Structure 1
Amino acid sequence: MNNNIIDVLVVGAGPSGTALAIDLVRRGLNIRIIDKAAKSFDGSRAKGVQPRTLEVLQDLGALKDVLAAGCDYPLLGIHIGPLTIPWRMMSTDKPKSDIPFPNTLLIPQFRTDAALHACLNELGKQVEFDTQLIEISQDNDAATAILSAPEGTETVTARYVVGADGGSSAIRQKLGIAFTGSTHEEDRMIIVDAVTTGLSRKRWHIWPGSSGQFIAACPLPNSELFQWMIRLSPEEQPKLDLPDLNERIQKRLRSSKVLMHSIRWKSVFRPNIRLAEQYRVGRIFLAGDAAHVHTPAGAQGLNTGIQDAYNLCGFHGHLATHSMSI
């Protein structure tokens, strides 16, 4: 066999791919991890890390940075006219011997990514950003990927490849794996991370509206940012520039005191509920959003993705040894 072959090529450096890379490297495997983006994702998106995922992060060595960057979920403040009704979205429990981290942590995704990338760097590996998978093939012994980077194209041979490259996974599409489910175009939402003044940071604010319309603002810990969520009407074509967003918010809140000063990240979110028909073809695996996408409730995507990676590498030993039978 080619002596230049690596053990695993990980495609996608979000939480799933990076968690997998960390686990593989600490087991002594020779890996590379690539991402087509020019830099790490800088939005909040999935902002809840669940108890079991915190245990996984502890084992991987990334927990200290994650805990330092997050906090407990604040009380909701439901604004109805002049009234603000406090409500706790989830109960809080004390640690136990069998449940060391009983509560979901509020932490924006960009800080979770940063903690995982730092952990990987400490192990001597770095994400190769601005590097895209162009083609992939395989035989009984290995998989071969053609990569494109600013320096040119490169052919990489690996014993295994893991596609952790998101809901629009290039690897899943190239393998021809169906991604069955639905996309809810009628249930869209603007999500904006913005420095905001005029709001208490002790509450996750919600302004309910008719027909399920609402505006919400969640304070992101250790920052001046709020994650704003604005549900759209079915056929609406929203304006996403700063003045229009401020006008919309102030009109709905009936207050000119609440003001976005700068936008870090923005998106129009469409709920997807999809599942890949298979997670593996020969020596190529899928993990995270490449394999399954969820509603935004509870940051299911991030948490199941990290646990995919941990299970794939550790519990079942699929990638932790060189001698796995096909």
Structure 2
Amino acid sequence: MSIDPQTIEEDLRTAMHAGSSAIAAWPDPVARVEAGVTRRRRRTLLVTSAAAVLTAGVAFAGVGIAGHREPPPNSIVSAEPAAAPTIARRSPRAAVQPCRLDRVDEVDWIVQSAPWGLSTGFAVRPNESERCTMTGRPVLSGVNTATGRSEPVTVVNLGPLEDDVTRQFPATVDPGEPARVKIRSSTTCPAGQKPKSYRDLVLTFGEKKLPLSGSNKLTGVCGADVSQWYVEPPMDYASLNATVKAPAVLRAGEEFSYTVTIDNVFPDKYKSGSCPVFRLSVAADGTGPWQRINCEETTIGGRGSVEFTLPGTIPADVEPGRHKLTWMAAMGNGEAVIADMGTDGTAVTVTR
């Protein structure tokens, strides 16, 4: 059966210029996952692998036709370094009824709860069936290792939390969503004060005592700064699916090729607004460098797909063994696209 290229071109132009309605937003996938798992399950899902960086390039073109799923031919392209984008996140929530402290019964040490955005730190998950708010800041105490007595850790003010983590105060959380606290120790001692070390750390919030893991200690400190309760709001996700296909075995220090497929699963066109930026990393920290995608079109037609073959390199210092490639794009409108989010990335084995 033959296909008339002119007919395809006319269909494309029609699909690319047709009016579109608002695209239905996806439910927050992070909250959806977190709300349905038990505390034991949450601990086992933490990602702890070390991070290394990949570089790659991709083009983004509008090619979809409603009902037509064939991607265009693969193309290997380049991309230029880009500044970190501003990623749209859930709007701040107004404070509601206080979380009941009798329903806050343990502290999680979150090593890395997602490869695309939640930071290391302490968190609690109020066992509530409705949205609630935790305000204020807990008090930190511990057993002084020199005296064997429990005592409050000296409070110090280390200023604003200076990092790239997005935080919202106070911690208004949905069921299963973590309320977080940041603890920063100080090793700078005032004149005449000697550093102390503490074990068996406890956060006291009102009348509620929340023991920290026995592996958490403070060594040689002259105080600590405990933040107020806060939440790290989830990103706004584009109504797109992305998948990465890469060779199952990759050699450290050598270039390889992989493909990224982006699917518009809705009947409306998706308009990015401008060429998006992306980053590709090994493991779960998502610290790969941002690069701007080299593209001519910023629209994917309804039910359409784009697929590109991309070059990447496994850094020479990546430890041999099992790893995951994580790919994230920030669209021109600030929405995020995460490849293979359900599996935390694409599994590969790295060899020397």
TM-score in same-fold range (> 0.5): no
Instruction: Tell me which of the two structures has the higher relative contact order, counting C-alpha pairs closer than 8 angstroms and 6 or more residues apart.
Output: 2
Q: Rg larger in 1 or in 2?
A: 2
Give TM class, smaller chain: under 0.3
Decide which structure has greater helix share.
Answer: 1
